[in-house]
């Protein structure tokens, strides 16, 4: 049998597929434990640093980023929020995170998290291969799994002790688990979110998740001068159908007459439509491959859980790998999938529940619509219901993966 010739070879302890927030954080946490890793990323560094996505960090995420050494700018520029609002047809109900569960969240864009992590990885000298193509995973059930890819015309083979699949929903890692060894659970929602980012002051100082007869809307922000808004739209709608003026008008109608006058409009810095999906892959481990973040699970953005779950997985995985390298303790790597998935399913439930509660579903009959309104009215009047939402929004606790 002919062996393929690889022009470049390397060895490392942990080979990381995907240099988004999960992959970068993992590399950084491992480096702090003297564990060497190499990141292989499909996109250029500029593309990764420019992506605009999440905005809300749980305290657990802030803590793990701080432990990773990237807490400084986050502490300075991140805005602490002690509550947010739910709204029905313009009527607002505060969810007082601090008063109800003694918690807070921090508004700090994923774009900034990624830039901070990238800078830390560069400073640590972590080897990163950007613009890599044809990434493939090999020998996952052996003690020496490997990655192959192409970069700048050269063919590479990297051998490692472990491979971390941090390559998002469409990456190759999950697909490298044989179909009969994984089970996938999925719900695709019949709508998307149309998002706009603009350099205008936010309409109020807390986020508003609004249900209206015209569909869902979210008022969020990045800073005192930069706003981020979303509205529910059809998943197949062309972006060209939403010139800025139409989007601003629709937002005002959905957020209602009390809030609309506070909305400052301005040209879009970015505008895009994201489909909504719930997805979980069981398992998150195959041999020496571990999945983390969006490669293993997707939530609709309604609960602001996607990035937080990704960072949570990486906290568990880095703890598990560190114990293995430090004193040969394999309990973390044995328990990783089970422990991570327990937290994932709870966040899936919360994101699905909030999505169902706040969006308009075309196939909903009149009873379904009334049930949604009744549920919202109940939440508005019940401290117990608000407490449950607050407890999930600030982030559920972590287990000890080594226990």
Catalytic residues: 81, 209, 301, 305, 393
Q: What are phi and psi of 161, to 5 degrees?
A: -80, -35
Nearer to ligand RFL, 135 or 163 (CB): 135
Window contacting ligand RFL (CB under 6 A); options: 65-73, 298-306, 318-326, 336-344: 298-306
Determine which residue in the list 78, 172, 215, 256 makes contact with ligand RFL, applying CB under 6 A: 172
Q: How far is the CB of 101 from ligand RFL (least distance, A)?
A: 18
DSSP 15: E
Q: Are strands 105-107 and 79-81 parallel, antiparallel or unpaired?
A: antiparallel
**78 near ligand RFL, judged by CB under 6 A:** no
Q: Report the nearest approach of ligand RFL to the CB of residue 144 (Å).
A: 20
Q: Which is nearer to ligand RFL, 104 or 329 (CB)?
A: 104
| DSSP tag of 386 | H
Rounded Cα gap, residues 254 and 249, in angstroms: 9
Q: Contact between 359 and ligand PHB (CB under 6 A)?
A: no
395 is an interface residue for ligand RFL by CB under 6 A: no
Q: Where are the alpha helices (DSSP H) in 51-109?
A: 59-67, 72-77, 97-101
Stretch that binds ligand RFL, among 68-76, 116-124, 307-315, 390-398 (CB under 6 A): 307-315
Residue that has been written with the tokens 């080594």 in this structure? 402
CB 211 within 8 A of CB 307: no
Please report whether residue 55 would count as binding ligand PHB according to CB under 6 A: yes
Q: Which residues ranging from 348 to 387 are in contact with ligand RFL (CB under 6 A)?
A: none
- Rounded-to-integer distance, Cα 334 and Cα 339, Å: 10
From 3-11, 161-169, 280-288, 370-378, span contacting ligand RFL (CB under 6 A)? 161-169
Largest CA distance in the chain: 73
Strand order, beta sheet including 227-233: 91-95, 84-88, 208-211, 217-221, 227-233, 183-198, 268-282, 297-298
Binding mask 332-351 for ligand RFL (x = CB under 6 A): --------------------
Q: What angle do CA 187, 189, 195 make, to 5 degrees?
A: 130
| Residue closest to ligand PHB when measured from CB atoms | 55
Is residue 347 involved in binding ligand PHB (CB under 6 A)?
A: no
At its nearest, how many Å lie between ligand RFL and the CB of residue 270?
A: 10
- Sheet containing strand 127-129, strands side by side: 127-129, 37-40, 14-17, 162-165, 289-291, 285-286
Binding mask 284-303 for ligand PHB (x = CB under 6 A): -----------------xx-
Interface contacts to ligand PHB, rule CB under 6 A = 54-56, 207, 220, 228, 301-302, 304
């Amino acid at each position: 049998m002919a062996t393929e010739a690889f022009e470049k070879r390397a060895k490392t302890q942990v080979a990381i597929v995907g240099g988004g927030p999960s992959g970068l954080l993992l590399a950084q946490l491992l480096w702090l434990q003297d564990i060497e890793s190499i990141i292989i990323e499909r996109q250029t560094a500029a593309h990764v640093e420019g992506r605009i996505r999440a905005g809300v960090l749980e305290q657990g995420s802030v803590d793990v980023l701080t432990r990773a050494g990237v807490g400084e700018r986050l502490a300075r520029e991140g805005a602490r929020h002690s509550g947010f609002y739910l709204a029905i047809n313009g009527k607002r109900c505060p969810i007082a995170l601090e008063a109800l569960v003694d918690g807070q969240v921090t508004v700090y864009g994923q774009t900034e998290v990624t830039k901070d992590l990238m800078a830390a990885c560069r400073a640590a000298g972590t080897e990163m291969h950007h613009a890599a193509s044809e990434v493939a995973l090999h020998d996952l059930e052996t003690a020496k799994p490997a990655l192959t890819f192409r970069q700048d015309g050269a063919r590479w083979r990297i051998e490692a002790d472990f491979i971390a699949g941090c390559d998002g929903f469409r990456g190759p890692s999950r697909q490298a688990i044989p179909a009969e060894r994984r089970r996938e659970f999925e719900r695709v929602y019949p709508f998307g979110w149309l998002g706009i980012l603009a350099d205008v002051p936010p309409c109020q100082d807390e986020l508003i998740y609004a249900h209206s007869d015209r569909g869902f809307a979210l008022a969020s922000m990045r800073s005192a001068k930069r706003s981020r808004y979303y509205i529910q739209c059809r998943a197949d709608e062309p972006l060209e159908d939403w010139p800025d003026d139409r989007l601003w008008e629709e937002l005002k109608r959905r957020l209602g007459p009390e809030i609309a006058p506070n909305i400052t409009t301005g040209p879009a810095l970015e505008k895009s439509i994201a489909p909504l999906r719930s997805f979980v892959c069981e398992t998150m481990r195959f041999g020496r491959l571990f999945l983390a973040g969006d490669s293993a699970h997707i939530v609709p953005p309604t609960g602001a859980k996607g990035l937080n779950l990704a960072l949570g997985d990486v906290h568990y995985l880095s703890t598990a790998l560190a114990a293995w390298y430090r004193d040969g303790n394999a309990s973390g790597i044995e328990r990783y999938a089970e422990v991570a998935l327990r937290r994932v399913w709870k966040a899936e439930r919360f994101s699905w529940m909030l999505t169902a509660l706040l969006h308009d579903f075309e196939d909903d009959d009149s009873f379904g619509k009334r049930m949604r309104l009744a549920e919202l009215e109940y939440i508005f009047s019940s401290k117990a219901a608000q407490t449950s939402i607050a407890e999930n929004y600030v982030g559920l606790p972590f287990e000890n993966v080594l226990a």
